[in-house]
Amino acid sequence: MEGAFDVIVVGLGAMGSATAYHLSKRRTKVLGLEAFIPGHDKGSSHGESRIIRQAYFEDPAYVPLVLRAYELWDELQNESNEENLTITGGLAIGSPQQGLITGCLKSARKYGLEHDLLDAREMRWRFPQFALADNEVAFYEKKAGYLRPEECIRQHLRCASKRGADLRFEEPVLSWTASQSGDGVNVTTEKQTYHARSLVISVGPWFAEFVPTVSMPVTVSRRVMFWLKPASQPSAFDRRIFPIFIWEPEQGPMFYGCPRTREDGDPKVGIHTGGEECTPSTIDRVINARDEMAIRSAIRSRIPALNGEVSRAATCMYTMTPDEHFIIDAHPEYPQVSLAAGFSGHGFKFSSVVGEILSDLAMMRETSSDIALFSGSRFRVQ
Ligand SMILES: Cc1cc2nc3c(=O)[nH]c(=O)nc-3n(C[C@H](O)[C@H](O)[C@H](O)COP(=O)(O)OP(=O)(O)OC[C@H]3O[C@@H](n4cnc5c(N)ncnc54)[C@H](O)[C@@H]3O)c2cc1C
C-alpha cells in the first residue's frame, strides 16, 4: 500500500478536478485518480461550451452558489492566465406563465439580479435571430455566458498539480472500502491500493455502478449536441451579438444554444428535456435521424437562419435525480466519504464552487455554503 494521503478524489471530470484544485490550495496531501485522460469526451464534460447564468429558474437556492462560482472562475482564470468564461448575455424564452420565465423572475427578484423582460416585438429589433410567438417573452440577463469545459478542467488540474496534488490518469478505481470507525479509506486500482483519511467520489454518470449500495435514485440519459452551419448570416451567431439561450416552448422539449466559440466554429444547440435512459457502457454514440429531426423541429421556425447543415454532432450524458437537484452529501454510512452526483444536466457552471464545498466536506465534514437542497437523505423512505 502506498504512503497515506489526506484525501483521495475518484473521478477528475468537472467536479473532481475542481475538488483536487481546492484541496491543493489548502495544502492537503491529495491524490486524484481518473479512468481516462484529462478533459476526455466519454463522460459529461466535453463539447466546447457550457452555459452559465445567474437568475436560476430551477430554484433560487442556487443563486448564492452561482455567484460564488463566478468569483471562483475569475480567480482560476487569473491564476492560469487563460480565458475560461465568455460573457455573451443570456435569454430565457417562453410563455410568461411557464416555469422557465416564472422561475427566472423569482430568482432575479429575490436576489436583485439585473434583467430585462422583452416581448416578441422588442425581441425582433434587439435579437432578430429569434422568432418568438406573439404570446412568448424573453428574460434577458447581461451576465450570462458560456464556460469552456475542457479548458476549465485542464486549468483546475494544472493549478492543482502545480501546488503538489498527485494526479494519476488512465488509472480506473476498481473498488474502495471505508472503516466503520469513520476515519480512513482504502482505494484499489489495477496498479495498487492507496490509503487516505477521506474520500471524495465524483464519478459523474458512473455513480450508480460505482456506489451501488447507496440508495439514491440516479439515472443516466443520452444527450446529443449539434453544431449547425447557419443557413444564412453566419456572423449573426458570433459571440459578440448572439447570446446563450434556453427556450421552453409550449409544445415540445426545452432546448438551448450557444454562439460560435471560435471565428471558424459553428453555433451549438441541444435538447434539454427528455432523452433515452442509458449507462456509460450502453450509450449509443451514433447520431441517428431521430436526433436530427428533434433538433430541427425545435429550431426550424424559431431560429430559422440557424437551420443549416450539421457540421458536427456528439453524444454526452446527463446524470439525473428525480427532482433534478444535485446530490452533495456525506455517504449515509461513512462520514469520511463525500458524494457528488446527479448534476442533472445543469452542473458544470457550479463545478468551481462544488470543488470548494467538497474540499470543505473532505477536510472538516461541514461547509458554510447552503447545500440543504442537495441532501442525499431526501430520497430515503421514512
Ligand atoms: C450535452 C450536455 C450539455 C450540458 N450543458 C450544460 C450547461 O450548459 N451548463 C451547465 O452548467 N451544465 C451543463 N451540463 C451538465 C454538466 O456538464 C454536468 O453536470 C457536469 O459536467 C458533471 O460533472 P461530473 O464531474 O459529475 O462528471 P464528469 O465530468 O463526467 O466526471 C466524472 C469523471 O469520473 C471518471 N470516472 C468514472 N469512474 C471512474 C473510476 N472507476 N475511476 C476513476 N475515474 C472514474 C470519469 O472518467 C470522468 O472523468 C451539460 C451536460 C451535457 C451532457
Ligand 1 atom with least separation from CA of 36: 47
How high does pLDDT run on average in the chain? 96
CB count in 10 Å sphere of residue 29: 17
Residue 192 neighbours by CB under 8 Å, 6+ apart:
1, 2
- Ligand 1, residues 9, 44, 86: which to mutate, most atoms within 8 A of Cβ? 44
Residue nearest to atom 5 of ligand 1 (CA): 50
Closest C-alpha to 118, from 91, 147, 82: 91
Phi then psi for 273, rounded to 5 degrees?
Answer: -105, 165
Reduced to 3 states (helix: H, G, I; strand: E, B; else coil), residue 180 is: coil
Reduced to 3 states (helix: H, G, I; strand: E, B; else coil), residue 205 is: helix
Where do you find CATH 3.50.50.60 in the chain? 4-45+150-214+323-379
Report d(CA 237, CA 267) in Å as an integer.
Answer: 6
User: DSSP label at 280?
Assistant: T
Report d(CA 162, CA 164) in Å as an integer.
Answer: 5
Q: Specify whether the CB–CB gap between 156 and 355 falls below 8 A.
A: yes
CB count in 10 Å sphere of residue 87: 15
The confidence band for 8, taking pLDDT boundaries of 50, 70 and 90, is: very high
The confidence band for 264, taking pLDDT boundaries of 50, 70 and 90, is: confident
Report d(CA 14, CA 151) in Å as an integer.
Answer: 10
pTM for this structure?
0.98
Class of domain 4-45+150-214+323-379: alpha beta
CA 122–ligand 1 middle distance (angstroms): 37
What share of the chain in percent tops pLDDT 90?
93
Residue range 80-145+219-320, CATH number? 3.30.9.10
The confidence band for 3, taking pLDDT boundaries of 50, 70 and 90, is: low
CA 204–ligand 1 middle distance (angstroms): 5
pLDDT digits (tens, 9 = 90+) for 171-207: 999 999 999 998 899 999 999 999 999 999 999 999 9
Q: What is the mean pLDDT of residues 220-240?
A: 95
Q: What is the mean pLDDT of residues 144-164?
A: 98
Ligand 1 atom with least separation from CA of 40: 49
pLDDT of residue 382: 55
- Ligand 1, residues 73, 346, 358: which to mutate, most atoms within 8 A of Cβ? 346
The confidence band for 1, taking pLDDT boundaries of 50, 70 and 90, is: low
Closest C-alpha to 44, from 83, 84, 17: 17
pLDDT digits (tens, 9 = 90+) for 86-117: 999 999 999 999 999 999 999 999 999 999 99
The confidence band for 380, taking pLDDT boundaries of 50, 70 and 90, is: confident
Where do you find CATH 3.30.9.10 in the chain? 80-145+219-320
Q: What is the mean pLDDT of residues 1-18?
A: 91
What share of the chain in percent tops pLDDT 70?
99
pLDDT of residue 213: 81
